[in-house]
Amino acid sequence: MNGHMSLRVSYQEGSVGQWLGSADDVLAVFEFGRSPLESSDPRHVPVALPQLDSPPLVELWRCDGPIKSGTWDVLRFAQGDQLTMGHIALDLGQPSSMRDVSRHAYDVLQSYLQQSPHPWPLKIWNYIPAINQGSGDEELYRQFCLGRADAVLIDPGDLPPLPAATAIGAPASEPALQIYFLSGALPGLDVENPRQVSAWRYPRQYGPRSPLFSRGTILTLNGSRQFLISGTASVVGHQTHHENKVANQLSESLRNVHSLFDEGHRLMGDARARLDGNGILKVYIRNPEDYELIRRTLEAEAPVDIPRIYLQGDICRENLLTEIDGIVACA
């Protein structure tokens, strides 16, 4: 399995230590329900979001090596032959510091990438404590978007190529903002979803600075392709659909995922992304009591052989209840 994947992703039972010591091709081991401040090795990425299903799993990223790992400023990284994983966890102190801390994290991330042999960010994951706290433009997600834009946009009028991204809320008790990424030696191909307004063009009602991400990127390595899906919620156009209906929101998210795959296929012509045993899905659920319904809905609508994990996480708009994130192979 995974013979045609350049980044080999899987969910596994077993401990972090066991997987870190298991082979020389391990780029990252993600552990759930643990503070990102407790990273024990540059390749160890604890994620604060609790896992809702069982058994407890770790997410494993492997790639062609040798793997070199280390620390750069506040960033920890692991670098393979063609791909790099990097992560940052910054204690927020006061909630009012969200904008500044986010800008600082993105400044470090960008300076790191500038001197890296893998300078192209393909996807960035953002886990933001108490993401919906604060009203109107004071909401922490909107403050995060401001800080990210402060760092990413030198001139607010221009727009660089944007990586895929996920932005999800971590528990309010978590002290740190966490950002981790996958980057490559070559840029990915950005894909937008024809069913959705591009996030950087969202109207003012969603905040003073638009979110900066593409709906997905296609990574090509060694002649094979993978699709990195951004956090995909029940947004059509720019509006939330199916308010208060979590199963319908999940179905809408899946329609967005398939629409994105169609668009990628239209642009690339040959390979098509698919939900199969070579990929992984992460399903974020705001209210843990929705877990059973979400699980049953996903099992009915997505192929059973794609490995998936369910995490408790708040979504960046108060009226969104679930979101899907994934890395899948094109075949």
Rounded CA-CA distance 104/88 in Å is 10
Q: Binding of ligand 3EB at residue 169 (CB under 6 A)?
A: no
Tell me the C-alpha to C-alpha distance, in Å, between residue 41 and each of 27, 92, 318: 11, 22, 35
Comparing CB distances to ligand 3EB, the nearer of 40 and 287 is: 287
Shortest distance, CB of residue 80 to ligand 3EB, whole angstroms? 25
Comparing CB distances to ligand 3EB, the nearer of 85 and 221 is: 85
Rounded CA-CA distance 319/331 in Å is 35
Say how many residues touch ligand 3EB, by CB under 6 A. Answer: 12
Comparing CB distances to ligand 3EB, the nearer of 39 and 166 is: 166
Comparing CB distances to ligand 3EB, the nearer of 189 and 316 is: 316
Token pair listed for 223: 């002649």
- In one letter, which amino acid is 137? D
Rounded CA-CA distance 111/126 in Å is 18
Shortest distance, CB of residue 22 to ligand 3EB, whole angstroms? 32
Biggest alpha carbon–alpha carbon distance for the chain: 49
Rounded CA-CA distance 297/279 in Å is 19
Shortest distance, CB of residue 166 to ligand 3EB, whole angstroms? 5
Q: What share of the chain is helix, strand, coil (3-state, %, to 5)?
A: 25, 35, 40
Q: Which of 35, 84, 143, 166 binds ligand 3EB (CB under 6 A)?
A: 166
Token pair listed for 6: 């350049």
Shortest distance, CB of residue 233 to ligand 3EB, whole angstroms? 4
Q: Binding of ligand 3EB at residue 167 (CB under 6 A)?
A: yes
Shortest distance, CB of residue 151 to ligand 3EB, whole angstroms? 13
Shortest distance, CB of residue 103 to ligand 3EB, whole angstroms? 14
Shortest distance, CB of residue 16 to ligand 3EB, whole angstroms? 26
Q: Which residues contact 191 (CB under 8 A, 6 or more apart)?
A: 214, 215, 216, 217, 218, 227, 260, 263, 264, 267
* Site residues (CB under 6 A) for ligand 3EB, limited to 295-324: 316
From the list 56, 57, 60, 75, the residue with the least C-alpha distance to 28 is 60
Q: Binding of ligand 3EB at residue 199 (CB under 6 A)?
A: yes
Write each residue from 146 to 165 as x if it is in contact with ligand 3EB (CB under 6 A), else as -, in one continuous string: -------------------x
Tell me the C-alpha to C-alpha distance, in Å, between residue 124 and each of 51, 165, 229, 240: 20, 5, 11, 23
Show contacts of 266-270: CB within 8 Å, 24+ apart.
267/189, 267/191, 268/189, 268/218, 268/225, 268/330
Comparing CB distances to ligand 3EB, the nearer of 165 and 182 is: 165
Write each residue from 226 to 265 as x if it is in contact with ligand 3EB (CB under 6 A), else as -, in one continuous string: ----xx-x-x------------------------------
Rounded CA-CA distance 193/259 in Å is 6
Shortest distance, CB of residue 302 to ligand 3EB, whole angstroms? 19
* Site residues (CB under 6 A) for ligand 3EB, limited to 97-136: 126
Q: Binding of ligand 3EB at residue 211 (CB under 6 A)?
A: yes
Q: Binding of ligand 3EB at residue 217 (CB under 6 A)?
A: no
Comparing CB distances to ligand 3EB, the nearer of 166 and 251 is: 166
Shortest distance, CB of residue 4 to ligand 3EB, whole angstroms? 27
Angle at 24 between CA 22 and CA 27, to 5 degrees: 95
Rounded CA-CA distance 46/73 in Å is 19
- Given the rule CB under 6 A, which residues bind ligand 3EB? 126, 165-167, 199, 211, 213, 230-231, 233, 235, 316
